[in-house]
């Protein structure tokens, strides 16, 4: 029996990288999973792996910033699995420049994907969470514990050069987390946040042989870090290495299991002990 048997988890941005590792971790502990990605191919690959593990799994391919997306994600969970127990707001990307080169479009895009999209998904889930808690309270004297984990960044905690828009979006999640922990305590929903440091993904890949880009909604955005920057990050990290997607998934997992049922409104930094300045 896994720790999450009988639970249904929604994980945004889970076609690859950290989101995929989170989905696989939760599924390995028995959860049914509704995954999401902009890339249909990546979502299909992750779905195949989840089904190979024997997990109940569905995919909702689409843009988390689409106002119609949240209802689609929640409806898929309810129709396929009958409920929502865990929500992991993970989807996101970087679009970096110094402030003088940051456009209004860039600023809005970073806030939309990192703050507005999580807000909308949580708002869409609210009626189910409220009604389920009331039913369970009446029937059993206490609602089952449900979980929200918002994925942020050390850039939101400490700032990062060239990431003013990204940092602002990630910092907004701290307010969302602490406020919703107070609002949803009455429904026995815990709301916590993990702020990641240097995790090895395509966004932080080494630039050994020139610039790299990712395609996001018709834009080619530069990603990756210079080898000298990666070495500096390693030296500033107490554990002396970057984190893996599995390390990141482990931190999220801690907030999804019964052992954390009395922890809410918290922000945990998962950075290997990286220096804050």
Q: What is the pLDDT of residues 190-201, one digit of tens each?
A: 999 999 999 988
Q: Which residues are the active-site residues?
A: 166
Examine the pLDDT at 218 and tell me if it is beyond 80: no
**In-domain check, residue 249:** yes
In a domain, 258, yes or no: yes
Does residue 223 sit within a domain? no
Flag whether 127 is in a domain.
yes
Classify residue 106: in a domain, yes or no: yes
Over residues 66-79, the mean pLDDT reads 98
- Angle between helical axes of 17-28 and 245-254 (0-180°, round to 10): 50
Residue 79 has pLDDT above 70, yes or no: yes
CA distance 150 to 118: 8
Domain boundaries, position 125: 8-206+244-269
Pick from 118, 121, 110: which is nearest to 160 by CA? 110
Give a yes or no: residue 51 inside a domain. Answer: yes
**250 vs 223: CA distance, rounded Å:** 24
Q: Is residue 68 part of a domain?
A: yes
Q: What is the CATH number of the domain that holds 178?
A: 3.40.50.720
Write down the pTM of the prediction: 0.94
Count of domains observed in the chain: 1
Report yes or no on 225 lying in a domain: no
**Residue 82: which of 62, 102, 58, 52 has the closest Cα?**
58
């Amino acid at each position: 029996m896994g720790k999450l048997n009988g639970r249904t988890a929604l994980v945004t941005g889970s076609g690859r990288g950290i989101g995929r590792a989170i989905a696989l971790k939760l599924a390995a502990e028995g959860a049914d999973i509704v995954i999401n990605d902009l890339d249909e191919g990546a979502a299909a690959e992750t779905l195949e792996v989840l089904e190979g593990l024997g997990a109940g799994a569905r995919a909702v391919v689409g843009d988390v910033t689409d106002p119609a997306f949240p209802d689609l994600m929640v409806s898929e969970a309810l129709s396929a699995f009958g409920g929502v127990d865990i929500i992991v707001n993970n989807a996101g990307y970087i679009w970096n420049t110094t402030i003088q080169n940051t456009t209004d479009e860039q600023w809005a895009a970073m806030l939309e994907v990192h703050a507005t999209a999580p807000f909308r998904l949580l708002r869409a889930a609210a009626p189910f969470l409220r009604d389920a808690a009331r039913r369970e309270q009446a029937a059993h004297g206490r609602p089952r514990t449900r979980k929200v984990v918002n994925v942020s960044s050390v850039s939101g905690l400490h700032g990062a050069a060239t990431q003013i828009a990204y940092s602002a979006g990630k910092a907004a999640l701290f307010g969302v987390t602490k406020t919703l922990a107070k609002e949803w305590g009455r429904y026995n929903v815990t709301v916590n946040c993990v702020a990641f440091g240097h995790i090895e993904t395509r966004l932080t890949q080494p630039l050994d042989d020139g610039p790299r880009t990712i395609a996001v909604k018709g834009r080619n955005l530069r990603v990756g870090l210079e080898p000298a920057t990666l070495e500096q990050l390693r030296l500033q990290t107490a554990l002396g290495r970057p984190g893996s997607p599995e390390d990141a998934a482990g931190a999220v997992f801690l907030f999804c299991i019964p052992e954390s049922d009395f922890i809410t409104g918290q922000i945990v930094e998962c950075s290997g002990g990286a220096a804050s300045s």
